[in-house]
Amino acid sequence: MATDVKTVGRVWLVVASDRDPSHGWHWRGLFLGPSLAGGYMRWGGSDWIRSPLSRRRISEMAQGDLVLAYQAGEGIVGLARLASDGYSSSVAGEFDSFNIALSPKIRLDCPLPFRVMSDIPLARRCEFVRVKRGTVFQVTFSEFRALVEVIFLLNVNRIDEILRLINAPHRTDAGAQDGPQSAS
Can you give the residue range of the structural domain that contains 162? 2-166
In a domain, 106, yes or no: yes
User: For residue 46, which amino acid is it?
Assistant: S
In a domain, 172, yes or no: no
In a domain, 136, yes or no: yes
CATH code: domain of residue 49 = 3.10.590.10
145: Cβ contacts below 8 Å, ≥ 6 apart: 2, 5, 122
In a domain, 178, yes or no: no
User: In Å, what is the CA distance from 34 to each residue of 17, 40, 85, 138, 165?
Assistant: 20, 12, 24, 29, 21
Dihedral pair phi/psi, residue 62, rounded to 5°: -135, 150
Question: What is this structure's pTM?
Answer: 0.85
In a domain, 92, yes or no: yes
In a domain, 176, yes or no: no
Total structural domains within the chain: 1
Task: Show pLDDT as tens, one digit a residue, over the chain (184 residues).
Answer: 444 666 678 999 999 888 776 667 888 888 887 666 567 888 887 777 878 888 889 899 999 999 999 999 999 999 999 999 898 887 767 887 888 888 889 999 999 999 999 899 888 888 888 887 888 999 999 999 999 999 999 999 999 999 999 987 765 443 333 333 334 3
In a domain, 82, yes or no: yes
d(CA 121, CA 31): 29
In a domain, 182, yes or no: no
